[in-house]
Structure 1
Amino acid sequence: MTAVQLPQGLPRRVPVRQVLCLLPLVLVLLVAVRHRSVLEEGFGQLRGAEWPWLVAAAAATCLTWVAAAFTRQGAVVERLPARRLLATQFAAGAANHLLPSGLGAGAVNLRFMTVCGVPLARSSAALALYLLAESITRVGLLLALLITFPGALHVGPLVPSGAAGPLALAAGAGLCAAVAALLLVRRLRTAVWSFLRTALGEARSVHTRPARALALWGGSLAFPALQAAGLAAVGRALGLPVPPAHIVVAYLAATVAVALVPVPGGIGSVEAALIVTLVAAGAPVAPATAVVLGYRIITVWLPLLPGALTLGALLRLKVI
């Protein structure tokens, strides 16, 4: 029996996974070209900085991936492979800066958990539990620091006069629309209740295991604290005339404010919010801008290429 040969000149199909492996690198290139001026200015600001504090900021950034890995493990009952989990958090950070905020990291972690054998419904519930825990601890830490340091931020200039009413009206309208959709669309209501039942069951299972609950809430608290500590370290490196505790408050306030802005990794919106809150904390505009640019170089731009390479490798190895 003779083997059937393809006609010469017929193009071979490129595997989809190979294309996906190269896609992160292409996106990194596009983002870098688009923000070239920001990169040049950011690296320029770091030339005259105190290097020990920059090393401390880089160390805090690396520890955020460890904290994220602990939190992800704490959100599921099954034991996830530790090394692959940590590599996935590093890759998820790159994906989060290349796709609309939160979607990149969520998709990477959702795929990782399903590959590890966690059913899709429970993986989605674990993802929601992670986001809920991280949001609660971030807002709780901000409120605790605002109570401890009541003069850390001068919020008057941050909220334009007369803006509270329209903001409350918009929030109320959005809530009413969501409630109406749940009441009127039966399939949506069924899907939401089913997801809530799964999520509550997953949360109960996790909290019956002290080690999982400690990893979930401890990692959720450590993650924003390490991020804020990195900004404070860059502030010290560049001589920003603001107390470190006030810088931490400014960082938490800025990230809470931009949490719902659907831009890739918060690029653009995060920088603007950080500059505004640092100015509200008492920093001059020019030094605050320099600190924010330097901080984003360390936390976003330097890890972006190795994170994209790690993402491509995990795709190729079918870890995700």
Structure 2
Amino acid sequence: MIEVKQGAAPLQGPLPGRNVPLTVRRILCVLPLLLVTVIAVRHRAVLAEGFALLPTARRPWLLTAAGVTCLTWVAAAFTRQGAVVERLPGRRLLATQFAAGAANHMLPTGLGASAVNLRFMTVCGLTPARSSAALALYLLAESVGRVGLLAALLVAFPDALRFGSLLPAGAFGPLLLAIGAVAVVAVGVLTAVRPLRRAVGSFLRTALGEARSVHALPSRALALWGGALAFPALQTTVLVLVGLAFGLSVPPAHMAVAYLAATVAVALVPTPGGLGSVETALVVALVAVGAAAAPATAVVLVFRVITVWLPLLPGALTLGALVRLKVI
């Protein structure tokens, strides 16, 4: 099932997917659909408003946005493959990214996709330690790609975003202090708790070893960092296309800055898939780059319909199918 690159350690051990009880597997197949129903009912007003706005936009831009959305799963698959030395089964990997996107909107930000991909890698034969290291490398690359792309756009367009409209006066200092305090507490806990320090040290050694192995293969390094840059770039392109569909009076580069700034800001908000927080941050960011509030709201609602709500049900069905087929 898996092709091992020359020089890589062979995958060993039984496939964990074979050991999941049948009853549990049946529950896991149905659970995604139940969660989708709950999410849809809780957000039915936003969902209805977003779908109602679809006919008012120019369709060619929306169809292009839907096509670019599909490419985001391809970019995610490339990044996941680039985080491990072994060649993962391509079709299953791509299907897993589609399913992980749905899972990500059912659990606090990042947990759903992480859980699905951890399961996929362990079923493929990677040890839990190596699967966790690959996940950490993926998250690091994706974060660096997103922040790096934002930084590059801010350098190219320094006047695109008015930060004063995003943060209350005097909020930047306390925010930095809070981040510093969290870092100090984390270091203190690691220093005081020896078992935790040993566990973290062991994980870091494994992660660094995996990172070195991956970067020793040019094809893996290119997949990792190319996908990490392509993923936020494609997401940004979707928002720009939706903005063009509604004739938003904001330059595309400024819309791109607004999207990246908003998604970086809400990354720390533990809401399922960023539901609610992403919409609010995106509207505020678009207004901060010069858009009027009403069209900005319409753009955000339709953007979320295309990227979240339309793929959610088929993604949940794919997730259930992957569980049933013992892919995850």
Counterpart AA for 2:286? L
1:38 aligns with 2:46: yes
- Give the Cα–Cα distance (whole angstroms) in 2 for the partners of residues 316 and 60 of structure 1: 29
Which residue is 1:6 aligned to? none
1:1-320 matched pairs, under 5 angstroms: 15-320=23-328
- Give the Cα–Cα distance (whole angstroms) in 2 for the partners of residues 57 and 152 of structure 1: 23
Per-residue CA shift, 1:167-205, capped at 9, x if unaligned? Answer: 122111111110100000001100000000000000000
Three-state SS of the structure 1 residue aligned to 2:258 is helix
- Give the Cα–Cα distance (whole angstroms) in 1 for the partners of residues 173 and 140 of structure 2: 27
- Give the Cα–Cα distance (whole angstroms) in 2 for the partners of residues 120 and 169 of structure 1: 35
Per-residue CA shift, 1:76-108, capped at 9, x if unaligned? Answer: 001000000000000000000011110000000
State the 1:315 CA deviation. Answer: 0.3
Counterpart AA for 1:211? S
- Give the Cα–Cα distance (whole angstroms) in 2 for the partners of residues 105 and 181 of structure 1: 28
State the 1:56 CA deviation. Answer: 1.0
Counterpart AA for 2:324? R
- Give the Cα–Cα distance (whole angstroms) in 1 for the partners of residues 185 and 288 of structure 2: 34
Q: Greater CA radius of gyration, 1 or 2?
A: 1
State how many pairs are aligned: 308
- Give the Cα–Cα distance (whole angstroms) in 2 for the partners of residues 168 and 243 of structure 1: 31
Per-residue CA shift, 1:225-253, capped at 9, x if unaligned? Answer: 00000000000001111111111110000
Counterpart AA for 2:280? A
- Give the Cα–Cα distance (whole angstroms) in 2 for the partners of residues 215 and 56 of structure 1: 24
State the 1:110 CA deviation. Answer: 0.3
- Give the Cα–Cα distance (whole angstroms) in 2 for the partners of residues 156 and 166 of structure 1: 15
State the 1:48 CA deviation. Answer: 0.9
Three-state SS of the structure 2 residue aligned to 1:76 is coil
Three-state SS of the structure 1 residue aligned to 2:86 is coil
- Give the Cα–Cα distance (whole angstroms) in 1 for the partners of residues 262 and 175 of structure 2: 17
Unaligned runs of 5+ in 2: 1-20
State the 1:14 CA deviation. Answer: 7.2
Which residue is 1:3 aligned to? none
- Give the Cα–Cα distance (whole angstroms) in 2 for the partners of residues 142 and 228 of structure 1: 10
- Give the Cα–Cα distance (whole angstroms) in 1 for the partners of residues 172 and 327 of structure 2: 47
Counterpart AA for 1:319? V
- Give the Cα–Cα distance (whole angstroms) in 1 for the partners of residues 165 and 124 of structure 2: 49
Counterpart AA for 1:218? G
Q: Which runs of 4+ in 1 moved over 6 A?
A: none
State the 1:60 CA deviation. Answer: 1.0
In the superposition, the TM-score normalised over structure 1's length comes to 0.95
- Give the Cα–Cα distance (whole angstroms) in 2 for the partners of residues 242 and 124 of structure 1: 41
Counterpart AA for 2:123? V
Three-state SS of the structure 2 residue aligned to 1:98 is coil
Per-residue CA shift, 1:111-158, capped at 9, x if unaligned? Answer: 000000111100000000000001011101100000101111111121
- Give the Cα–Cα distance (whole angstroms) in 1 for the partners of residues 299 and 168 of structure 2: 25
Which residue is 1:7 aligned to? none
State the 1:165 CA deviation. Answer: 2.2
Three-state SS of the structure 2 residue aligned to 1:245 is helix
- Give the Cα–Cα distance (whole angstroms) in 1 for the partners of residues 142 and 300 of structure 2: 23
Q: CA RMSD in A?
A: 0.9
- Give the Cα–Cα distance (whole angstroms) in 2 for the partners of residues 250 and 90 of structure 1: 25
Per-residue CA shift, 1:3-51, capped at 9, x if unaligned? Answer: xxxxxxxxxx971110110000000000000000001100111111100
Counterpart AA for 2:41? V
- Give the Cα–Cα distance (whole angstroms) in 2 for the partners of residues 101 and 158 of structure 1: 21
Counterpart AA for 1:68? A
Unaligned runs of 5+ in 1: 1-12
Counterpart AA for 1:172? G
- Give the Cα–Cα distance (whole angstroms) in 2 for the partners of residues 122 and 93 of structure 1: 22
State the 1:162 CA deviation. Answer: 1.4
Three-state SS of the structure 2 residue aligned to 1:79 is coil
Counterpart AA for 2:83? A
